[in-house]
Amino acid sequence: MNIYVVNILVGVVIAIISYLFGSVPTGVIIGKVFFKKDIRQFGSKNSGGTNAGRVLGKKVGILVIILDMLKTVIPFYTAWAVLTFSGLKDYMVWGSYNAAPLFYWGSVLFAAIGHCASIFQKFKGGKAVSCFMGTNVLTSWIELVMAGFSFLIVAKKTKYISAASITAGVLGTITAWVVAIIAVSIPWNPHWLTLMFGFEGAPYLGLEFAVVDTVVSALLIFRHRSNIARLRAGTENKNPFSKSESSN
């Protein structure tokens, strides 16, 4: 089969499966099945983990966040594993360019789009925070430090999840570009920065990683435009997971 046909077919399959997986409305399903309540009718009317915590309680909110983090992580590692261990990566070559990273990092983008514009919710959804954080902290330890810890610190200091999310998006993206530029500029092994710590077949933290990280971060910030307006006006809701805050 023609190599370009193989690339197109693999890309389409990865995009569709990732989008559908990301589209699963975990918060809505948990709310309706276990609490007989649609969280989209309460609080911020959002289907993400923060609103789930506000409406259904902190433990449920944390569970939804974890499940939403897996929306990008599972398609990502699945695409990476299939391409790496099936030999398909040998067909993902365009001239001298190994395009395999483009395919498995691309799965993250389509899963994030599914989360934000779910086909099961009339193309509405969450705000991409869990998708961004899941991808970063569960693939690279340096992103865990930069994006993950910055999120926790800002959330603790300000009590605003939206401010913490935007900060993590910006710092995580900057880190991704620093890593990617180093990876393509000098001879080294960026696999040491993944959670596989040097495994030869580990996901490549190159330009594909940085570009996808940037797009998902931009999606995250765009989805928070109303939160940004409320932060500037001083009317933003506080962190529903904070001990000092009650549900809003």
Rounded to the nearest 5°, which phi and psi values hold at 166? Answer: -65, -40
Low-confidence ranges of the chain (pLDDT < 70): 1, 242-248
Residue 182 vs residues 141, 188, 209, 211: alpha-carbon distances, Å: 16, 8, 13, 14
Q: What is the pLDDT of residue 21?
A: 98
Q: What is the pLDDT of residue 242?
A: 64
| DSSP-derived pairing of the beta strands 93-94 and 97-98 | antiparallel
C-alpha–C-alpha distance, residues 7 and 74, integer Å: 21
Q: Which residues pair with 98 in a beta bridge?
A: 93
Q: What is the pLDDT of residue 90?
A: 86
C-alpha–C-alpha distance, residues 121 and 31, integer Å: 14
Q: Helices 161-185 and 207-223 meet at what angle, rounded to 10?
A: 160
C-alpha–C-alpha distance, residues 107 and 185, integer Å: 25
The domain locations on the chain are 3-233
C-alpha–C-alpha distance, residues 117 and 26, integer Å: 14
